[in-house]
Amino acid sequence: MSKAIKKIGVLTSGGDAPGMNAAIRAIVRTCSYHNVECIGIFRGFQGLIDADFEVLGPRDVNYIINKGGTILKTARCVAFRTEEGRKVAYDNLKKAGVDALIVIGGDGSFTGAMVLSKEFDIPIMGIPGTIDNDIHGTSHTIGFDTALNTVVDAVDKIRDTASSHKRLFFVEVMGRDAGHIALNAGIGAGAEEILIPEENMGMERLLESLKKSKKSGKSSSIVIVAEGEKLGKNVFELGEYVETNLPEYEVRVSVLGHMQRGGAPSCFDRVLASRLSVKAVETLLEGGSNYMVGLINDQVALTPLEQAVKGHSPVDQELLRVSDIITI
Ligand code: ATP
């Protein structure tokens, strides 16, 4: 039988995402509900190595459910990739009496946690916190919905200028390896074209489509481009190329950048973070380990971390079809 868990550590790692605070809050309060102590670990795995810990009680997480970022801070930690670094981390956890760990982050953070768990036999759980929605085993990662709303809001504003000046705007959104933000926000914002890493549209087709769009009576257009799209050009080169080949268009480029990560989490992300966090704590208390908690068919579900890290989160073919049809 697994050892009774009396103290759970929580950390946020990798890129920050809106809703991480809602998750921390729910973890702290679920621990308190079950009479388990909760230890906040600052700056991700770096905080494990530096023993940067603080006991968190239910009142320490008042008024954070509405805040973007993470009160625990986050970091990318090179030392944790080494065995010596992880040994220091484990010794610090042991000294502090921490029996189990919850990691809120992306697949890199889950990989780090799995290595630690394997080497030192410490129970761990992963909660997917990233705006990219690129993790297998959950329909939504914490932060994705908020990021979509931020992008749609920004594109709505850009469209005012695009339509007033009859311009073509290329708007770059986050997503180096995954086009989930571009595809969903593109549909939501009524973009004329959506360029994503999973699909190579080709320059010729893009030009043809924009020509068709102009002929059909559209006087302005928005093209959403994911950072990692595959046309082999960055968004500025793409804009220049289109302006050279379609002189009838006046092209402008807008890169939304880090604004997509910030801001108050949407209600959806707050509820999601709360649901996943309660399940993460309770799974540990029931003796479970090495799972990611996610949402599958709107139900909270566990996926082995190994699968979550190795699996793909493919782009939704139905959304691609919807986008093709409604941009006519
Ligand atoms: P995001 O999706 O926002 O990038 P992420 O969790 O994937 O989040 P990473 O930078 O890939 O972010 O990983 C976060 C941290 O996890 C790294 O800085 C490192 O400390 C740890 N980590 C990642 N991969 C490993 C690994 N193979 N072994 C040990 N630690 C790792």
* CATH number of the structural domain spanning residue 177: 3.40.50.460
Q: What would you report as the CA-atom Rg of the chain, rounded to the nearest whole angstrom?
A: 22
For residue 80, the domain's CATH number is 3.40.50.450
Ligand 1 test: best mutation among 11, 12, 13, most atoms within 8 Å of CB? 13
Alpha helices for the chain (secondary structure H): 20-33, 44-50, 83-95, 107-120, 144-165, 180-188, 203-215, 235-245, 267-285, 305-310, 317-326
The per-residue pLDDT for 78 is 97
What confidence tens digit (pLDDT) does each residue in 103-158 have?
Answer: 999 999 999 999 999 999 999 999 999 999 999 999 999 999 999 999 999 999 99
Is residue 322 domain-resident? no
Q: Which two tokens stand for residue 275?
A: 């649901």
Greatest C-alpha distance within the chain: 72
Question: Which residues in the chain show pLDDT less than 70?
Answer: 1-2
Are residue 14 and residue 114 in the same domain, yes or no? yes
16 annotated as ligand-binding: no
Range of the domain at 188: 146-261
Q: Whose CA is nearest to atom 18 of ligand 1?
A: 76
pTM: 0.96
Of 86, 109, 176, the residue with max ligand 1 atoms within 8 A of its CB, to mutate for a pocket test, comes to 109
Catalytic residues: 132
Instruction: For residue 81, say whether it is annotated as part of any ligand binding site.
Output: no
- Looking at the structure, tell me whether residues 127 and 157 fall in a common domain: no
Q: d(Cα 151, Cα 209) in Å, to the nearest integer?
A: 23
Indicate if the alpha-carbon torsion angle 70, 73, 79, 83 is positive or negative.
negative
Sort 306 into a burial class: Cβ within 10 Å, 0-12 / 13-18 / 19+: middle
Q: Is residue 130 part of a domain?
A: yes
Instruction: Answer yes or no: is 252 a known binding residue.
Output: yes
pLDDT at 1: 41
Distance 81 CA to ligand 1 centre (A): 9
DSSP SS3 for 252? strand
Q: What are the φ and ψ backbone dihedral angles of 42, each rounded to 5 degrees? A: -90, 145
Q: Judge if 18 and 136 occupy the same domain.
A: yes
Are 15 and 129 in a shared domain? Answer: yes
One domain for residues 152 and 114: no
Is residue 112 situated within a structural domain?
A: yes
Which amino acid would we find at residue 235?
V
Please check whether residues 115 and 164 belong to one and the same domain. Answer: no
Instruction: Give me the number of domains the chain comprises.
Output: 2
Neighbours of 290 (CB within 10 A): 18
CA–CA dist 230, 103 (Å, integer): 32
Same domain, 138 and 155: no
15 in contact with ligand 1, CB cutoff 6 A: yes
In this predicted structure, what is the pLDDT of residue 219?
A: 76
Lookup: tokens for 309: 């890290």
Helix axes 180-188, 144-165, angle to 10 degrees: 50
Question: Does the beta carbon of 53 lie inside 6 Å of ligand 1?
Answer: no
Q: Is the CB of 46 under 6 A from ligand 1?
A: no
- Walk across the sheet containing 37-41 and list its strands: 53-56, 37-41, 7-12, 100-105, 124-128, 291-296, 299-304
Same domain, 96 and 222: no
- Distance (Å) from CA 128 to ligand 1 centroid: 13
27 annotated among ligand-binding-site residues: yes
Q: Is the shortest distance between the CB of 186 and ligand 1 below 6 Å?
A: no
pLDDT at 211: 87
